Amino acid sequence: MRNLIPFLLTLLLLSCNESPKKNTAVPVVEKEVVIPESLLGKDLEGNEILVGKVSFAQMAHYCKEWYSPDYNRYKVNVGLLEQIKPLLKGKEVTLLMGTWCEDSQREVPGMMKILAEAGYAIAQMEIIAVDEDKRTPSGVEQAYEASYVPALIVYENGEEINRIVEFPLGTLEEDLLAILSGKDYKHAYAE
């Protein structure tokens, strides 16, 4: 009996240990992040927002209060990720978002985590931050015809394949897989 108690305690302690997890924390930005005045605007209430073509580092830094925690909290569907990875090769992805937008705040961290874990170079992707009228001072957003944000747009050979608009119809992984595999996917606002 005396030997049984230490054995059970050891077993209990070992069973409570977590196995090591893959590090999927927010990608680290190696250099100091500078956000020029030209990328700062105001929302309808006078709060500062990002507007224009921004880098991943600028977006992640500016939105760190909501972006980083939600990125780290998002659990990617690994089974679907394995199907997404090969289909993402050779594709380009553009993101239109609003730093003021609750939908962007809810969806963008998950979108970026899926892309990062699939091996997509999110640090080089095109990100366009729009104001509440879905505009930028330079008009760069006009080429994308986005009435709702976020809009994650997938391209192949310069041609748009499809996009996830405002929210996924299923999960982000399911919708992205449908787009990449050429299924008949229509986002929530498609006609």
What residue spans define the domains of the chain? 36-180
**CATH superfamily assigned to domain 36-180:** Glutaredoxin (3.40.30.10)
For residue range 143-177, what is the model confidence (pLDDT) as tens digits?
999 999 999 999 999 999 999 999 999 999 999 99
Upper half-sphere CA count for residue 143 (Cβ side, 13 Å): 11
Q: How confident is the model at residue 9 (pLDDT cuts 50, 70, 90)?
A: very low
pTM: 0.82
Proportion of the chain above pLDDT 70, given as a percent: 84
- Mean pLDDT computed over every residue of the chain: 87
For residue range 20-79, what is the model confidence (pLDDT) as tens digits?
344 444 554 556 788 889 899 999 999 999 999 999 999 999 999 999 999 999 999 999
Closest to 95 measured CA to CA, from 123, 117, 66: 123
pLDDT of residue 31: 64
Distance set, CA 82 to CA 6, 77, 85, 87, 96 (Å): 43, 9, 6, 9, 25
pLDDT of residue 12: 39
H or E element in which residue 78 lies: helix 78-88
Q: Looking at the predicted structure, is the pLDDT value of residue 102 above 90?
A: yes
